A and B are shown apart, each in its own frame.
Chain A
Amino acid sequence: GEDVEQSLFLSVREGDSSVINCTYTDSSSTYLYWYKQEPGAGLQLLTYIFSNMDMKQDQRLTVLLNKKDKHLSLRIADTQTGDSAIYFCAEGRGSARQLTFGSGTQLTVLP
């Protein structure tokens, strides 16, 4: 979606941290999400953050939200080969929390 932007590719070495960045445009979005898609599969929710939060940590995942710059990031600590996938950020808006997705970032973890 043109309202949510992500870089297309990221490569990291196994054991390093990965940081996937996302920018969005709608300041009225109340929820921001990170989804993971493995090859041939549907999307799986990794984590989400409310717009009134700055940071959320969940095990190896850390989400940072900068509302002023409309910037969202996902940090994966100790990246493993099983983390190789496409990662989508999305903003939720509207009465049914319709999601607007970024184009996805292909994360490749090198041994």
Chain B
Amino acid sequence: IAGITQAPTSQILAAGRRMTLRCTQDMRHNAMYWYRQDLGLGLRLIHYSNTAGTTGKGEVPDGYSVSRANTDDFPLTLASAVPSQTSVYFCASSSGEGNEQFFGPGTRLTVL
């Protein structure tokens, strides 16, 4: 049972480059989320998806885009990375019933 997987585990990226962080869950959860975690700021929601085919903006969506073509995958794209996007990125999913969000192991991204 994998739960939620994220790839890559870590990445160093030059500013201006395009990058897609991958997230896959095998729990058939309807809802999926992307958060970034920065020291002293906790986790902030970037984008979310209630169900396949729908997405919504979170607290800090600028500079990021998402898609939800199917239930299992929820990739996060940085079209043109900037140093302020250096962070640890967590993907999460839930059944949508409000009880628990399951988190992936995270992707550590450094933008130089």
Contacts and interface: CB of A to CB of B under 8 A. Distances in A.
A96 B49 contact: yes
Dominant SS at the A interface?
Answer: strand
A45 B98 contact: no
A103 B103 contact: no
Given A97-B31, A98-B33, A103 B40 contact: yes
A102 to B, nearest CB: 6
Contact of B42 (A44, A45, A96, A101): A101
B74 interface: no
A49 B50 CA distance: 22
Nearest to A104: B42
Contact of A1 (B33, B44, B102, B104): B44
Given A31-B98, A96-B31, A42 B103 contact: yes
Contacts of A48: 99-100
A45 B101 contact: yes
State which size class the interface on A falls in: 20 to 34
A18 to B, nearest CB: 19
In this complex, the member of B56, B90, B96, B99 whose beta carbon has the largest number of chain A beta carbons within 10 angstroms is: B99
A106 B3 CA distance: 26
B59 A1 contact: yes
Given A42-B104, A43-B103, A100 B98 contact: no
Interface in A9-51: 30-31, 41-45, 48
Contact of A88 (B42, B45, B105): B42
A81 to B, nearest CB: 23
Contacts of B103: 42-44
B10 to A, nearest CB: 11
Interface string B44-84: 11001110000010110000000000000000000000000
